[in-house]
Amino acid sequence: MTECLMASYEINGPESNARAIAERICLDQTIEGDASLLAPPLQLQIVGRLEHLRPTSAGRCEATIRYASDLLSGDCTDLLNVLFGTSSFRGDVTLSSFTLTQGLLSLWRGPRFGIDGLRCAVDVVHRPLLCAVLKPLGRSAQELAELAAQYVEGGVDIIKDDQSLVDQPWCPFEERVVRCAEAIGKASSQRGRPCLYLAHISGSLEVMRRRATQAKALGATGLMMAPGLTGFDALRALSSDETVVLPIACHPTMLGASVDRGRGGLLPRVAYGLLPRLAGADLSIYPTFGSDYPMSQDDCCSVADSCRQSWDHIKPMMPAVGGRVGPERISILGSPLGRDVVLVLGSRIQKHPGGVIAAIEECLRMVTTERSSDCPSTS
């Protein structure tokens, strides 16, 4: 089979109107001009081709368009531009999914650790993982380190910096990473089970590379970055950097601006699932259903499915749902999302009447714990 990129779009309107828009997308996403500007052989080689068009629910149609492999160089930038560059201006088109044929997909490594690697790193096999967040912004590095120690004592598996933590005067990057990594490491040794610490490193590519190297040297056992701010190629570069080799979490800040809210954009499963996974994230954080953010249960579960579904050699990525998650939400989320998920506990656990440790212990009681030292390889 000829190598190609297949993209699916949801288009408003009756079939006749949707067909006209789909044919326009074929041009806009390739030559962005009239086909007559090219000789017929080049038209066949370069212009996107409408493969299927079918009506769906709510008066929409799904169009599947085939793009030639020669349009892609293997970068995230090229992929995104072909998938949805000019068509993102339209407002009546949604990118719902995409697939790469095997030859093109072989250019992408995907997650280095994935679900099995994360589970091995925290020594938890058969239950959802719990993640706590170092917040709010304004606390000193020492205060955050003390909070981190409580998180570990309560029983969390992962601790991450809040995305607002960068290198502020009251909480410098290096001091925060040193103090938090030390506190988490000491508390983990005392409880007899590891806890990952994901240091936030977003910035320019040069800054991120420096912070990633510093974070690892200072004791961080994972990284977090926001490709909505930095670009997906930056995520890919760090995930494949052989000098770093740490699990990487993708934070969704700014990605929400690209998600379809009824006026075109990316479906959540593309923005929070397929793209981060292809670029190499081991864990993708996104809003859960039932929070203050506009995310339906169906969309939330579809993101989780896109993180975990079989995808040739690309390892499954761990979905991580957050947004005002406390003990009262654990059972509600666990049933539809399954066991291979990270539940990101919100700041409300700091307001629990029994304290932070009691709040986490309550969350932990609501999931089934089974430990194993026989972990699969993360290489």
Q: Which two tokens stand for residue 249?
A: 């979490």
Q: Tokens representing 125?
A: 């096999």
Q: Point out which residues pair with 21 in neighbouring strands.
A: none
Residue 251 designated active-site: yes
- Find out whether the peptide bond into 172 is cis, omega within 30 degrees of 0: no
Catalytic residue among 52, 135, 313, 315: 135
Count of alpha carbons within 13 angstroms of residue 14, beta-carbon side = 1
Q: Name the DSSP class of 225.
A: E
**Side chain identity at 294, as an amino acid letter?**
P
d(CA 66, CA 111): 26
Alpha carbon 146 to its chain's center: 28
Q: What is the 3-state secondary structure (H, E, C) of 50-102?
A: EEEEEECCCCEEEEEEEEEHHHCCCCHHHHHHHHHCHHHHCCCEEEEEEEECH
CB within 8 Å of 342: residues ≥ 6 apart: 128, 129, 130, 131, 157, 158, 283, 285, 318, 319, 320, 321
- Residues 57 and 67: their CA atoms lie apart, in Å, by 26
**Which residues are 133's β-sheet partners?**
160
Could you say which DSSP state residue 281 is in?
Answer: -
Question: What are 197's strand-pairing partners?
Answer: 159
Using only C-alpha atoms, the chain has a radius of gyration, in whole angstroms, of 22
Catalytic residue of the set 200, 216, 251, 315: 251
**Residue 315 is a catalytic residue:** no
The pair of three-digit structure tokens given for residue 158, joined into one six-digit string: 């992962």
- Residues marked as catalytic: 135, 251
